[in-house]
Amino acid sequence: MTKMSERPERFLILCVDRDDDIGAKAKLQTPIVGRNSALSAATKLALADPEEADANAIFSAVRKYDELVLKGTACEIALVCGNVDRGFDADRRISKEIQDLVKTSNYSGAILVSDGADDELVIPIVQNYMPIISVERVTVKHSQRVEETYLILGRYLRMLVFDPHYSRWSLGVPGVIFLLAGILVASGHVADAELATLLVIGGAFFVRGFSIDRTVAGLLQRGPTGYMRLFSMVTSVLVVIAGTFSGYGSMIDAQNKSVVQLDAQQNAGYLITGSIPLVWAGIAIYATGALLSHLARGSLRWRRDGFVLVMLALLYFPMNTFSQFLINGTAESTFLLISYILLGLAAIFVLTIAIYPRVRTKGFPERE
């Protein structure tokens, strides 16, 4: 049996100019095929910009072509370009030009000649049409790693400056700090400038760390119900803060009125006793706002907010009794605490087993 003859190998030496310096500076259209055409394009580009690295990459591709031809390897050289803005448009044009090259001749593989990391981003595009046998990196005037580092840093710097999602933090927060500090220093309040700087930085960390900005933006996108949620959120925080200060004031008053020094347990009891009404009211305001918002939107999540209100009511008396236990430590307060806990468990059991399934079947249709 005679062995079938295999198709002779023929390789494509491909030089890619992803940002289209050949078109912008040398005013040439790609794809450019052939040694003489490539050499002419490299010369025109070098004359237009002697410091252009793409010209050196084309000369290197011509030299690689001559080396392979001397060894008897069948090959061809071609230049393709992208777009000055790089990105999707550039890669789409490169893909189209490589597709046109493949239609004119069958290549066994490609030898990619590149002048840096940016041009090598097209490797997956080339591999869609032919295997890449080798990659020739041409390093001109700068180190390979330095170029890659500058490429990455440039992308992140553009993102920090021009992307509104990041610029508000990278430029907005420092801008507010410098503005306030400059005004306060100019007016002679150096200490206040330091305090304002700490407050702005701390506030920015707090907002970003707990995603408060995203939460507020998401609420505002929901329309009137979102404003309702936002109002209840802000007012509940204010009431909780007021409750904390109220509890601290109650603890200080108790210390001033007591003839003996209070221990840590008693101080905690007075702090809880003074703060629990407003703290519970603040949490209830938030849950009520969420409940009304979900009712207005026809969302079944109002059940969860309703159960939060019920839980607050059931926990109020145990917490209040617990604070009295910390202050007095009497057997009566201990008995009341255990009694409230048992009653609360019984109420939760009834709600979970008897009432919740009925509310669930009669709820509003979910529209979220």
Dump the DSSP string for 271-286. HHHHHHHHHHHHHHHH
Q: What is the pTM of this model?
A: 0.43
- Are residues 293 and 187 both part of a single domain? no
Provide φ and ψ at 260, rounded to 5°.
-115, 160
Is 155 within a domain?
Answer: no
- Are residues 136 and 77 both part of a single domain? yes
How far lies 292's CA from each of 186, 228, 296, 352, 356, in Å? 49, 8, 6, 22, 18
Residue entry with tokens 């290197």: 60
pLDDT tens over the chain, length 368 residues: 444 446 678 899 999 888 888 888 888 888 899 999 999 999 998 898 887 778 888 998 999 999 999 998 899 999 999 888 777 888 889 999 988 888 888 888 889 888 766 667 788 888 888 898 888 877 655 545 565 676 677 777 777 777 776 777 777 778 787 887 888 778 877 777 777 778 778 777 777 776 666 766 666 666 677 777 778 888 888 898 898 898 888 888 888 887 777 888 888 888 888 888 898 888 888 888 888 887 887 776 777 777 778 888 888 888 888 888 788 777 676 777 788 788 877 777 777 776 556 555 554 444 44
Q: How many residues does the chain have?
A: 368
Residue 2: per-residue pLDDT: 41
Is 260 within a domain?
Answer: yes
Residue after which a domain boundary falls, among 124, 148, 172: 148
- Are residues 120 and 190 both part of a single domain? no
- Are residues 277 and 332 both part of a single domain? yes
Q: Which domain holds residue 330?
A: 241-361
Residue 368: per-residue pLDDT: 44
8 Å CB contact between 152 and 46: no
Please state the domain count of the chain: 3
- Are residues 40 and 108 both part of a single domain? yes
Is 143 within a domain?
Answer: yes
Is 235 within a domain?
Answer: no
* CA atoms of 205 and 34, how far apart (whole Å): 59
- Are residues 114 and 18 both part of a single domain? yes
- Are residues 197 and 112 both part of a single domain? no
Residue 365: per-residue pLDDT: 45
Residue entry with tokens 């009834």: 350
How far lies 342's CA from each of 306, 314, 349, in Å? 21, 10, 11
Is 40 within a domain?
Answer: yes
Is 135 within a domain?
Answer: yes
Residue 36: per-residue pLDDT: 92
How far lies 101's CA from each of 78, 157, 163, 221, 303, in Å? 8, 37, 38, 50, 65
Angle at 256 between CA 253 and CA 257, to 5 degrees: 85
Q: 111 by DSSP, 3-state: which?
A: strand
- Are residues 277 and 331 both part of a single domain? yes
Residue after which a domain boundary falls, among 99, 124, 148: 148
Residue entry with tokens 């493949």: 102
Residue 156: per-residue pLDDT: 73
* CA atoms of 317 and 278, how far apart (whole Å): 14
- Are residues 206 and 248 both part of a single domain? no
Is 299 within a domain?
Answer: yes
Is 6 within a domain?
Answer: no
Provide φ and ψ at 2, rounded to 5°.
-80, 145
Residue 23: per-residue pLDDT: 87
Residue 309: per-residue pLDDT: 84
- Are residues 184 and 264 both part of a single domain? no
- Are residues 167 and 133 both part of a single domain? no
* CA atoms of 368 and 366, how far apart (whole Å): 6
- Are residues 91 and 27 both part of a single domain? yes
